[in-house]
Amino acid sequence: MTAAATPAASIDAFGLTDAGRVRRSNEDHFAIATLRKAMELMQCSIGDGSAFDRYRGPDAMVFVVADGVGGQPGGAFASETAIATLVEYLGQAAGCFHNLDVSREHEFLDQLERSVLTAHERLTRGDAAPGGPATTLTLVTLVWPRAYIVHVGDSRAFYLRRGRLRQLTRDQSMGEFMVESGAWTDDQARRARTSGVLMSAVGGSEMTPAIGLVDLAPGDTLLLCTDGLTKHVPDDRIAELLGRAQSAEAAARELVAAALADGGTDNVTAIVARMAPALSTT
């Protein structure tokens, strides 16, 4: 259990990945991390310790999933490299969220986008030719109560609020592009063999991060997942499983189990983070 910044909500987070029932190897990776920049006052004789409050700062939680692009060499390497690069970059820039306010949000989002571009550059360094290692990537950085999202590919982020599931990301795929442009209907996109072809991937020939943000609230549940989950478990079932679970771990395990029960044709990864109301300290 990790305490978020004031106004507080305790965050119960858990991630799980599985190779599935068909693939021999798992090209998915995930990470959950906390970034801190703080001075914690242990003892003080000056009576008023409020002078130290400015150094207390918020905690930021980082959630990221990556899915190595199937059919290309080094998918597992690409997803692992992308996540390792993000963790390294954000660790070095951990102070960028300290005293974050609305006027500086664009700087923070620039830092997050830069971390993804750094991962892309690391994968394409010395070999920018198509067909090299590539991966999807969905990153959520939570500086309570705001969640900042950077997204590439067709992994997804959702949040559940009062039983309603909302999708925070949009697939960067051929099917989604054709539907948005009006060339295909949703039904045509579902049936088209090329619908799942990625239009953007970290390490791919094209890479365009999508940026977004949303304010979360106590009682919300955040989900990041790869398409090994969403191709088998419909949104209404995801909402049901997230809503009935008593913990983040239980929810993640039930979601992965549901994907496997429906065939598990792909690697499947889920990160669940539950925003519980803060415990009173009075």
- β-partners of residue 219 are none
What CA–CA distance (Å, rounded) separates 153 from 118? 16
HSE on the CB side for 202, CA within 13 Å?
A: 39
The three-state secondary structure class of 69 is: coil
Cα–Cα nearest to 272, from 17, 69, 76: 17
Give the pLDDT confidence of 27-73 residue by residue, as tens digits. Answer: 999 999 988 765 555 666 665 656 555 555 557 899 999 999 975 56
Q: Nearest-CA neighbor of 25 among 63, 61, 62, 78?
A: 78
Which one, of 231, 234, 264, lies nearest residue 26 by Cα?
A: 264
Note the pLDDT of residue 40: 58
Element (H, E) at 34: strand 28-36
Closest CA to 225 of 263, 160, 272: 272
Q: What is the pTM of this model?
A: 0.87
- Indicate the CATH number for domain 2-39+54-170+202-277: 3.60.40.10
Most confident range, picked from 39-48, 121-130, 198-207, 269-278: 198-207
